[in-house]
Amino acid sequence: MGLPQRQPHLQLLLLVVTLVWPQPCMSLELVPYTPRITAWDLEGKVTATTFSLEQPRCVLDRHARGADTLWLVVAFSNASRDFQNPQTLAEIPASPQLLTDGHYMTLPLALDQLPCEDPVGGSSAPVLRVGNDPGCLADLHQPPYCNAPLPSPGPYRVKFLLMDTRGSPQAETMWSEPIALHQGKSPGSIDTWPGRRSGDMIVITSILSSLAGLLLLAFLAASTVRFSSLWWPEEAPEQLRIGSFMGKRYMTHHIPPSEAATLPVGCEPGLDPLPSLSP
């Protein structure tokens, strides 16, 4: 009989506790901004372990104070609805928690690092590359904001969260659309059957193979001609043949006149010797 009389007091106590108890998430403002892949014409905007977001310029400025920090929340697409905003700096999930809890936070930025004006003549595009720090994998004492390469193709969803110096959330953006990373093919899944290749590819391959064969034949022919002269030298002149001796034929007119005059009488070539005058 006394229990019904206590119910109004119990309900009143619960109402007072509900009103007095701090509700930090109730004051969190949702900014109508959706993170997305950068529109800049860049190679590798999405890879097997990274993706590049556009920078949220002038998105959360009116909600922030000078010392506030903008964080990026990365979560698997099917785990994003279960993410609870941290209330202190100690509750910030680190990158290894992606595999266990399905989410983590990274890339803390001060608002002065995100000016409203796009850079003019800069050496790099204004993007935020998620998963761009492979050194995190080897660092045993990695900070909670380590930007480690993403471990799987995903898909992922991201949002920006504005936090003050104590780690209390001040504002947040909407979740992005699912972002799927590129997937590489295993060697066993690559089709090598030539029957499934296009006709143009077969023709180009045949022409290149024929040209390679012709170049090889030309090289072998040139090498044969070059080295044949070393093994089979040209035939020597008739006067220098080995195993025979052939001298030049000398005529009498080759003998100087002085030498011809000293020959004995009757020894001239082509004349009969003179008869002897002795009895």
Residue 57 has pLDDT above 70, yes or no: yes
Between 244 and 49, residue with greater pLDDT: 49
Classify residue 247 as exposed, middle or buried by CB count within 10 Å of its CB (0-12, 13-18, 19+).
exposed
Q: For position 231, what pLDDT does the model report?
A: 61
Instruction: Tell me what the pLDDT averaged over the chain comes to.
Output: 75
- For the stretch 152-209, pLDDT in tens is 998 999 999 999 988 899 999 999 999 999 976 554 544 555 555 566 777 788 888 8
- For the stretch 61-95, pLDDT in tens is 788 887 899 999 999 999 999 999 999 999 999 88
Contact 59, 171 (CB under 8 A): no
DSSP state of 163: E
Peptide bond into 155 cis (omega under 30): yes
- For the stretch 122-135, pLDDT in tens is 556 789 999 998 88
β-partners of residue 154 are: none
- Please name the residue ranges forming H helices in 66-116: 97-101
β-partners of residue 46 are: 51
Classify residue 193 as exposed, middle or buried by CB count within 10 Å of its CB (0-12, 13-18, 19+).
exposed
Task: Report the pLDDT averaged over residues 30-38.
Answer: 93
> Minimal CA–CA distance to 136: which of 111, 107, 112, 172?
107
Q: For position 230, what pLDDT does the model report?
A: 63
Q: pLDDT band at residue 58, thresholds of 50, 70 and 90?
A: confident
Residue 245 has pLDDT above 70, yes or no: no
Contact 70, 158 (CB under 8 A): no
CA–CA dist 221, 223 (Å, integer) = 5
Q: For position 189, what pLDDT does the model report?
A: 47
Task: Report the pLDDT averaged over residues 98-122.
Answer: 83
Tokens standing for residue 211: 């040209």
